[in-house]
């Protein structure tokens, strides 16, 4: 997989720690990555803006990121990663600083429409 394969919007269809009803509580759960190594995600009552970098590992390329945002209107932040599997789906982990963490699985839903945010938060 190449870096360009990460760019776009991905539908989070499963998470290790939360059920499907929670994932899609406000919007259909997603994670989105842009060319400028920024992005965002939203699942359940959690929203985050990401800033990261692409890293080469023995398992291929992964997007390693930090994030900040909110959970039920309370400030939240942490880090995570995402990689693309051989079958073209994605897997990763979102971690809350000093708190929960969960693996997630996602499928590409859009490769052309990404937000136009500027700079890392």
Question: Model confidence at 115, in pLDDT bands (50, 70, 90)?
Answer: very low
Q: Is residue 103 part of a domain?
A: yes
* Phi, psi angle pair for 17, to nearest 5°: -100, -15
- Total structural domains within the chain: 1
pLDDT digits (tens, 9 = 90+) for 76-114: 999 999 999 999 999 999 999 988 999 999 999 965 544
pLDDT digits (tens, 9 = 90+) for 2-43: 899 999 999 999 999 999 999 999 999 999 999 999 999 999
Q: Is residue 119 part of a domain?
A: no
What's the whole-model pTM score?
0.87
Containing domain of residue 23, as a range? Answer: 3-110
Q: Is residue 97 part of a domain?
A: yes
Closest by Cα among 6, 2, 38 to 106: 6
Q: 66 has which bridge partners?
A: 51, 79
């Amino acid at each position: 997989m190449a870096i360009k394969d990460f760019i776009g919007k991905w539908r989070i269809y499963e998470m290790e720690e939360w059920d499907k009803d929670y994932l899609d509580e406000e919007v259909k759960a997603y994670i989105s990555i842009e060319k400028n190594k920024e992005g965002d995600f939203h699942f359940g009552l959690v929203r985050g803006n990401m800033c990261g970098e692409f890293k080469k590992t023995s398992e291929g390329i992964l997007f390693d990121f930090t994030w900040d945002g909110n959970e039920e209107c309370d400030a939240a932040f942490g880090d995570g990663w995402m990689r693309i599997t051989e079958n073209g789906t994605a897997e990763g982990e979102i971690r809350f600083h000093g708190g929960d963490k969960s693996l997630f699985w996602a499928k590409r839903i859009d490769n052309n429409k990404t937000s136009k945010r500027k700079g890392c938060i």
